[in-house]
């Protein structure tokens, strides 16, 4: 059978994004030939440096190429201006909207004993297109002369239903993997709906109601559904993380929870994500552009390698994804070549080479 060729867009962005996105390309090129996969790559622009050169952070050409000529993509990191800059807005937020990538999927998994908090194996599924991230803000002067700033929080039934269904699908897929013999701390699929409807009765209330309705569909009858108010969720996330399998949340809460959960496994440099829509996925490490270590060759590439595997999962290549996950986990379990954020002394290049050899 002829090999399947996948076209991958590479968007390094700024800072260490330019150092870790090449790791994603290399891990794909190093996959065993038995997987019958080939890859072609297209380099694309986005980010603060692109804005400084071209006047836009997300060129139309980047979006057009992704839509017309790519099966998936990897996005590195972007720097942001330290002061308000006219015309600049986040390119990854814009990409999510323009490509219809309505879900941000962030697995958080510990390797080994899990340390003080014990084993961690969860996925945070964050709605990607609305909430406060619609970026509709205004500032005006009140009657007493003081300034007032307001922001729109928008929650829709359609987006809430889609993200809850995505969470349910992920919970079922994780259960199939467990039943196939994968090691796990969970015995059944579970989705925790996170909200603040006790205060925001209309916006978060709509999210809660719609998520419950989506997860009540027949196909999710084996999935245990529970709820947590977001402030309680934060507390329990750190106290008893092993209780959680899949967590679904509106955009802002999901953003905060997923970055916080990274602390459970030691570093943002370990945590992957994927921006997912219908038929397209962009892998994106959760860390930022890290200007303090840019150019030093010590950025942790693990989050990018895991994001590459996650992208493959949503492209239907679960076997190839599993090969990458296994190689990454072996590197972390051995602990001989770890980057400085994990207490080691290995360079970015040394970690990449070690994982590639383990394929």
Residue-wise pLDDT for 87-106, tens only, equals 898 899 899 889 999 999 99
> Domains in the chain and their CATH numbers?
1-101+277-359 (3.40.718.10), 111-266 (3.40.718.10)
Q: Tell me the residue ranges of DSSP E strands in 244-294.
A: 246-249, 274-276, 281-283
Does residue 321 contact residue 284 with C-beta atoms inside 8 Å? no
Supply the Cα-derived Rg of the chain in whole angstroms.
20
Separation between Cα atoms, residue 198 and residue 178, nearest integer Å: 35
**Residues 11/62, Cβ–Cβ less than 8 Å:** yes
Q: Give CA 355 to chain center in angstroms.
A: 21
Phi, psi angle pair for 4, to nearest 5°: -85, 130
CB 325 within 8 A of CB 309: yes
The two tokens of residue 332 are 């972390």
pLDDT of residue 339: 93
Confidence (pLDDT) at 265:
84
Strands across the sheet with 72-77, in order? 37-43, 4-13, 72-77, 281-283, 274-276, 103-109, 121-127, 246-249, 190-195, 224-229
pLDDT value at 115 more than 70: no
pLDDT digit string, tens, across residues 198-240:
999 999 999 999 999 999 999 999 999 999 999 999 999 999 9
Q: What is the pTM of this model?
A: 0.86
Is the pLDDT at 84 greater than 90? The verdict is no
DSSP conformational letter for 278: S
Residue from 29, 5, 11, 70 nearest 352 by CA: 29
- pLDDT surpassing 60 at residue 260: yes
What single DSSP character describes residue 99?
A: T
Average pLDDT over residues 296-306: 95
Distance, in Å, from the CA atom of 331 to the CA atom of 300, rounded to the nearest integer, reads 12
How does the average pLDDT of the chain come out, rounded? Answer: 92
Which pLDDT score is estimated for 114? 54
Query: Is the CB of residue 75 less than 8 Å from the CB of residue 57?
Result: no
């Amino acid at each position: 059978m002829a090999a399947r060729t996948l076209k991958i867009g590479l968007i390094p962005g700024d800072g260490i994004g330019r150092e870790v996105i090449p790791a994603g390309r290399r891990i794909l090129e190093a996959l065993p030939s038995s997987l019958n996969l080939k890859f072609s790559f297209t380099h694309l622009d986005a980010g603060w440096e692109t804005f400084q050169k071209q006047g836009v952070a997300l060129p139309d050409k980047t979006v057009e190429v992704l839509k017309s000529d790519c099966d998936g993509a990897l996005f590195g990191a972007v720097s942001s201006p330290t002061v308000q800059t006219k015309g600049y807005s986040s390119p990854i937020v814009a990409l999510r909207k323009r490509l219809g990538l309505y879900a941000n999927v962030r697995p958080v998994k510990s390797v080994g004993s899990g340390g003080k908090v014990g084993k961690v194996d969860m996925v945070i599924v964050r709605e990607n297109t609305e909430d406060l991230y619609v970026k509709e803000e205004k500032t005006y002067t009140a009657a007493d002369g003081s300034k007032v700033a307001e922001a729109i929080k928008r929650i829709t039934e359609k987006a809430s239903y889609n993200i809850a269904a995505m969470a349910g699908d992920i919970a079922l897929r994780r259960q199939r993997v467990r039943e196939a013999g994968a090691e796990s701390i969970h015995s059944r699929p579970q989705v925790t709906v996170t909200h603040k409807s006790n205060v925001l009765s209309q916006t978060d209330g709509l999210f809660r109601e719609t998520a419950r309705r989506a997860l009540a569909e027949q196909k999710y009858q084996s999935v245990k559904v529970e709820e947590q108010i977001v402030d309680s969720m934060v507390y329990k996330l750190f106290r008893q993380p092993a209780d959680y399998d899949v967590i679904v949340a509106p955009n802002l809460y999901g953003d905060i929870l997923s970055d916080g959960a990274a602390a459970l496994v030691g570093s943002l440099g370990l945590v992957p994500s994927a921006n997912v829509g219908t038929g397209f996925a962009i892998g994106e490490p959760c860390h930022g552009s890290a200007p303090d270590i840019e150019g030093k060759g010590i950025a942790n590439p693990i989050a990018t390698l895991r994001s590459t595997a996650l992208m493959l999962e949503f492209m239907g290549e679960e076997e190839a994804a599993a090969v990458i996950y296994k190689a990454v986990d072996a590197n972390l379990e051995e602990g001989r070549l770890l980057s400085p954020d994990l207490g080691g002394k290995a360079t970015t290049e040394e970690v990449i080479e070690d994982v590639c050899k383990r394929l």
